[in-house]
Structure 1
Amino acid sequence: MARLIRTARRTFLPSSLSPQTLIQRLQLPSLQIDKPICNSLFQIRNYISDMRKSAFEGNILRILRNEIQYEYEYAPPKQPSTEFDSFAVEDQPGEQWIRLRGKYGEKEEIKIEVTMFDGSIPIPKSSEDGKGEDMQFHISMIVDISKGEGCNVLEFVCSAWPDCLEIQKVFMLRHDGMPPKPYVGPDFKDLDDELQNVLEEFLEARGVNDELAAFLHQYMMNKDKTEYIRWMGKLQSVVEK
């Protein structure tokens, strides 16, 4: 048996081959792909990727153009008002605030900062069946009244609803800003009823009233549409580049 094994080794494993050489010969040859074929496959992949990207961006642009056209045709925004009663309106495109400035008498300066819609509450529908709910939008206002440089500022934090104005808080601010931890007083609704009435009359005499609240809601409805169209236009320009 030992002689048979030795004979087989001489027959199938020549003594001139080292183990390393034998292993290399027994290994399967690696797959070789021509470079032109690789380049073609790479180009095809890039082409498919570019086509998908182009189709995706084209769909975004189509939707944006249709939406912008719809907004302009259905209910186009109006030219915003630059004044209301004794107030001048300051509105910077792209901002979520507007400012109103006015005077009362010879000394008082009034500055009002107003947000776009920042909240809402559900209300019953005004339809005959009375089913379902509508939304009533909320606007926040800060009214600063001062009597010149160096004087303290009387500040009112208010809520503007479509048909009324509500005072939430009243602050007394130093002309150089609030101290680190000022006493800010109670909520307006916790004040004495007579004091509430005279403070409301104080604002009404200066044109900060229910009519101003109604104006601001109309103004912000228009601004909301204008800013939305402007935002879509900016998005469109970015996708097109």
Structure 2
Amino acid sequence: MYRLICSARRTILSSSSSFSKTQFHFLQCHRSHRTPSVQPRIGTPTFLFRSRPYSTDVITKSPFEANILRILCSEIDYQSDYAPPHQPATKFNTFAVEDRAGEQWMTMNGKFGDSEDIKIEATMFDGFVSVPRVGDDATGEDARLHISVIVDISKRDGSKTAQFICSAWPDTLEIHNVYVFSTTSRDNKLVRPYIGPHFGKLSGELRRALHEFLKARGVNDELSVFLHEYMMNKDRIELIGWLCNLKSFVEK
């Protein structure tokens, strides 16, 4: 399973890298149409939310570097003031949420009954599809953002793990593949058997049953809504952090 997860991560992060410029442009456009309503919460990293934190800094740099720093400070101020991010959630329903600061992933951990452990790993936005705008006066297209999700459901005795490769859309969770792993008794290593067909090739009855299997464990459309809200906030946090790191690099 470890090799598969690594492979899945490489594939997802590769697609995320190739998409980053388009996604960043879209998110910037998306921000420009949002009315800021979220305010910082207690415990939020203060460097993200200080209004005009660098306006009194004394810059002893060349004119070129001073101009870069001025632009960076202006951008940090704008991002912090216009749509300030809030402290990331640490819990969703029965799942504990672990933010991975500076990374393109987040992790959720939960349990089901006395026999199963559930681990969910989700990317930041790594793709989108264009859809027609809705409404009587709507013209053009909107983008539905995509999040890649890996769900591991492991038997607590270590005997078997089922892995679901999914897509989280703004209001829907889709399953793409289901893998089942067994632990050998001889060397305690996970082996990958026949991985089965693509989820879409399964019978409708089996697809519905597997969706119900996940829903019973809290992996459902409600989770997709949460992940999109979480990642929109994480995108702002990571952007401001990246700008601050770039500013620190130029200053040294």
**Superposition TM-score tier, normalisation by shorter sequence:** 0.7 to 0.9
Bigger-Rg structure (1/2): 1
Q: Compute the displacement of 1:71 (Å).
A: 0.7
Task: Spell out structure 1 runs of 4+ moving beyond 2 A.
Answer: 126-130, 174-179
CA separation in 1, counterparts of 2:67 and 2:115? 58
Q: Given the alignment of the two structures, is residue 196 of structure 1 paired with residue 196 of structure 2, yes or no?
A: no
Q: Given the alignment of the two structures, is residue 177 of structure 1 paired with residue 193 of structure 2, yes or no?
A: no
Q: Given the alignment of the two structures, is residue 115 of structure 1 paired with residue 123 of structure 2, yes or no?
A: yes
Q: Compute the displacement of 1:128 (Å).
A: 3.2
2:140 to 132, 138, 152: 132
Work out the percentage of aligned pairs sharing the same amino acid.
Answer: 57
2:197 to 158, 170, 186: 186
5+ long unaligned stretches in structure 1: 1-52
5+ long unaligned stretches in structure 2: 1-60, 184-188
Please list the CA deviations of residues 66-103 of structure 1 after superposition, one character each: whole Å capped at 9, or x if unmatched: 11100111110011100000000011210111010000
3-state DSSP class of the match of 2:125? coil
Match of 1:35 in 2: none
3-state DSSP class of the match of 2:85? coil
Q: Given the alignment of the two structures, is residue 77 of structure 1 paired with residue 85 of structure 2, yes or no?
A: yes
CA separation in 2, counterparts of 1:58 and 1:95? 29
Please list the CA deviations of residues 40-82 of structure 1 after superposition, one character each: whole Å capped at 9, or x if unmatched: xxxxxxxxxxxxx711111111111111100111110011100
3-state DSSP class of the match of 1:81? coil
1:66 to 71, 74, 94: 74
3-state DSSP class of the match of 2:106? strand
Please list the CA deviations of residues 115-138 of structure 1 after superposition, one character each: whole Å capped at 9, or x if unmatched: 111100111123532211111100
CA separation in 2, counterparts of 1:149 and 1:122? 44
Alpha carbons 2:100, 2:107 under 8 Å: kept: no
- Answer with 168-177 or 94-103: which moved more: 168-177
Match of 2:220 in 1: 209
1:224 to 215, 220, 235: 235
Please tell me the root mean square deviation across aligned C-alpha atoms, in Å: 1.2
- Identify the structure with bigger relative contact order (alpha carbons < 8 Å, sequence gap 6+): 2
- Answer with 194-203 or 127-136: which moved more: 127-136
Q: Given the alignment of the two structures, is residue 236 of structure 1 paired with residue 213 of structure 2, yes or no?
A: no
Match of 1:168 in 2: 176
